Amino acid sequence: MPFCHTGKLVDGLTIGCPLHNLIPEWNDLIYKGRWRQALDRLHRTNNFPEFTGRVCPAPCEGSCVLGISAPPVTIKVNECAIIDRGFEEGWVKAQPTAQRTGKTVAVVGSGPAGLACAEELNRAGHLVTVYERADRVGGLLMYGIPAMKLDKSLVDRRVKLMEEAGVRFRTGVEVGQTMSVSELRGSHDALVLCGGACKPRDLPVHGRELRGVHFAMEYLVANTRSLLDSGSPDASPIHARDKHVVVIGGGDTGNDCVGTALRQGCKSVTQLEILPRPPDQRAVDNPWPLWPKIYRVDYGQEEAAALFGADPRLFSVQTRRLLGDQQGQVQGIEIADIRFVPQPERRPPKIEEFPGTVRTLPVDLVFLAMGFMGPEREGMLSELGVDLDSRGNVAVDENQQTSIPGVFAAGDMARGQSLVVWAIMEGRQAARGVDLHLMGETVLV
């Protein structure tokens, strides 16, 4: 029995594909050489396989039955091959809606959740306008993920198809700032919030105010924007050439900072991870089909190892303080090795430093890639007055509807920082909720 398409959360870990992609079916169709049918099956559940096939960490592969005793099926590669073949053959085309319902919907945010929601609502016959505060459509797909990981022409290509199908896009509009919430609600029959979880986790240590210390997204967005605007890899206002770089945070965003710094010609790069090094194989408390919490080397770390001779990550380390020169520029980072000490009564573990491990690394640029704390609450959310959950995300019901009737939320804004597949899934789910709210029934699946 396949588990790769199940899409469930167990102990906070994803089992299988949240989109419930029909993986066994389209894998079999590839095997039989029936690529067009494989594409049709793939598009039944996934609006944007060209994105997920490149940037999703593939929880489906962690739940692959073959993975019990051997390397799993290359599901992510297969998915990417199907959609790329579809575009090459001209099979992927805009699908304008033949009949309109007369209802209008505003989608705020053009990341994967917003795009998926807009596409589904357009298919249902509603007139959809997507509002994006940046100057280009795509959200984190456009500016948060580096071009070497997701070429921006792929985002533009999909957006163009959506425009040809009838979806409208308005860039440079920040709801709650350049456009009021009341104005937006007054001109649409429903509103979907897909603004993401853009509030970064900060580092409250001595020296945080020094020049050269940036949030990871400041760095990645500046780099991508400069490439798109000027075409030059040297135009970014935050540049790592000939500099010692330290990235604090061991996740995907931190890895993207490593890869970007390497391409800019950094002198060295070190990635700090507060957690211990994962095991090479599954631990006994991490059985299949749970997501395997094992040691992995992503593209950034692999490239750094090839250039400098070793994995750039230091595990089980904590930043104690940042040191600066007389001009206020960061020049050192003081770190120490740590361990987590279990506490009674299910309290969080206590962090203890190992004596004699305090040391200072030279640094010219520090990038904070420690995750996100939820959506920005100023502006749109405060003006709307929607309820928030215990984690500070927008609270929604089973149809992704907020505490305000006719206002929905999806993706990281409702879920918190998560995977692109969860964002697309919730965007589709919100579209069904909106369609049901507007029409009393829904044609969306």
Alpha carbons within 13 angstroms on the beta-carbon side of residue 296 total 14
DSSP collapsed to 3 states, 135-146: CCCCCHHHHCCC
d(CA 393, CA 372): 11
Region label for 229, one of left (φ > 0), alpha (ψ between -120 and 50) or beta (otherwise):
alpha
Amino acid at 430: A
Give the pLDDT of residue 11.
78
**Distance of alpha carbon 238 from alpha carbon 260, whole angstroms:** 11
pLDDT at 369: 97
d(CA 31, CA 256): 34
3-state secondary structure the chain: CCCCCCCEEECCEEECCCCCCCHHHHHHHHHCCCHHHHHHHHHHHCCCHHHHHHHCCCHHHHCCHHHHCCCCCCHHHHHHHHHHHHHHCCCCCCCCCCCCCCCEEEEECCCHHHHHHHHHHHHCCCEEEEEECCCCCCCHHHHCCCCCCCCHHHHHHHHHHHHHHCCEEEECCCECCCECHHHHHHCCCEEEECCCCCCECCCCCECCCCECEEEHHHHHHHHHHHHHHHCCCCCCCCCCCCCEEEEECCCHHHHHHHHHHHHCCCCEEEEEECCCCCCCCCCCCCCCCCCCCCCCCCHHHHHHHHHHCCCCEEECEEEEEEEECCCCEEEEEEEEEEEEECCCCCCCCEEEECCCCCEEEECCEEEECCCECCCCCCCHHHHHCCCECCCCCECCCCCCECCCCCEEECCHHHHCCCCHHHHHHHHHHHHHHHHHHHHCCCCCC
Read off the pLDDT of residues 138-181 as tens digits, 9 standing for 90 and up.
999 999 999 999 999 999 999 999 999 999 999 999 999 999 99
- pLDDT tens-digit profile of 311-338? 999 999 999 999 999 999 999 999 999 9
Structure tokens, 307:
């250039």
Closest CA to 191 of 362, 394, 390, 23: 394
Query: For residues 347 and 405, what is the distance between their CA atoms, to the nearest angstrom?
Result: 38
Contact 184, 177 (CB under 8 A): no
Tokens coding 382: 């405060």
Greatest alpha-carbon span in the chain: 72
Strands 313-315 and 268-273: parallel
User: Residue 40: left if φ>0, alpha if ψ -120 to 50, beta else—which one?
Assistant: alpha
Task: Pick 213-368's CATH classification: 3.50.50.60, 3.10.290.10, 2.40.50.140, 3.40.50.2300.
Answer: 3.50.50.60
CB count within 10 Å of CB 424 equals: 30
- Write out the two tokens for 188: 């649409």
Cβ(438)–Cβ(189) below 8 Å: yes
Q: CA–CA separation, 405 vs 385, rounded Å?
A: 12
Give the residue from 16, 8, 37, 14 showing the smallest Cα distance to 25.
37
Residues 38, 194, 406, CA angle at the centre, nearest 5°? Answer: 105
Class of 104-198+373-439 per CATH? alpha beta
| Nearest alpha-carbon partner for 318 in 202, 199, 205, 212 | 205
In order along its 445 residues, the chain shows pLDDT tens digits of 788 988 888 877 788 999 999 999 999 999 999 999 999 999 999 999 999 999 999 999 999 999 998 999 999 999 999 999 999 999 999 999 889 999 999 999 999 999 999 999 999 999 999 999 999 999 999 999 999 999 999 999 999 999 999 999 999 999 999 999 999 999 999 999 999 999 999 999 999 999 999 999 999 999 999 999 998 878 899 999 999 999 999 999 999 999 999 999 999 999 999 999 999 999 999 999 988 999 999 999 999 999 999 999 999 999 999 999 999 999 999 999 999 999 998 888 999 999 999 999 999 999 999 999 999 988 999 999 999 999 999 999 999 999 999 999 999 999 999 999 999 999 999 999 999 999 999 999 8
**104-198+373-439 and 213-368, same CATH topology:** yes
Domain boundaries, the chain: 8-88, 104-198+373-439, 213-368
pLDDT at 346: 84
pLDDT of residue 234: 85
Packing angle of the helix pair 420-439, 112-123 (nearest 10 deg): 40
